[in-house]
Structure 1
């Protein structure tokens, strides 16, 4: 008889993120602090010393840096809103958001919102860098 309290098998997800982006670093830091024993690996793909074999086949480093991606242990890669949903589904305290994404039309809306954010991301990054510099000066 199966143990009713046993956790279902978990599959590792590799979070491919842009560590050179101040926004991305902060967001990933939130996820890392809340990960607990979640089956997650974090890979800063902005680092030139990350071996090409760590990167998903068929995607360039530039493509990976342009959008958020996660890769499941079976090699399937998710991008944009779908990638966030995969990550949230693995994180304690965030699973409710992954479930919300499965409501009719929600993933479509999330993806459109993410694409809109990507258009303003460079300007927001510059602003964050300026604010960080001011904070560092005093």
Structure 2
């Protein structure tokens, strides 16, 4: 009897052109020891579940057939990683998710500067 790999519980779309995304996805891949997350690079994806610009603007993940974005997408990822699962489960509470979404929106305002810094650290042209 052969063991078959379970299908991914969550699919995550990410921007491989973004140095922050690359680092974050690399970390999530290392933490996803059970292989529960499928990662799809928007740079090479032939199809997207939403408009590509929308997908690039915020993190998106599909969980239980539902497309989630922003903090809800992060929470879907966290629920698949044992170390982060408690935070992902806590995010099922609307107030916790609202707080996380507010923090994510703050991050999005800082993201262009952080991307620029990450590119400089990588030695890539601006």
Q: Tell me which of 52, 55, 61 is aligned to 2:52.
A: 61
Count of residue pairs brought into register by the alignment: 119
Structure 1 segment 4-83 matched on structure 2, within 5 A: 12-45=9-42, 47=43, 49-52=44-47, 55-56=48-49, 59-72=50-63, 74=65, 76-83=66-73
Tell me the equivalent position of 1:98: 88
Does the alignment pair 1:109 with 2:99? yes
Please report the TM-score for the alignment, with normalisation by the length of structure 1.
0.77
Pair 18,97 (structure 1): closer, same or farther in 2 beyond 3 Å: same
Pair 24,105 (structure 1): closer, same or farther in 2 beyond 3 Å: same
CA RMSD for the aligned pairs? 2.0
Offset from partner CA, 1:57-92 (integer Å, 9 cap, x none): xx2111000000001363x10000001111100112
In the alignment, structure 1 segments of 5+ residues that lack a partner are 1-8
In the alignment, structure 2 segments of 5+ residues that lack a partner are 1-5
Q: Once superposed, which parts of structure 1, at least 4 consecutive aligned residues long, lie more than 3 Å away?
A: none
CA contact (8 A) 2:8 2:38 kept: no
Q: How far 1:128 moved relative to its partner?
A: 1.0
Tell me the equivalent position of 1:3: none
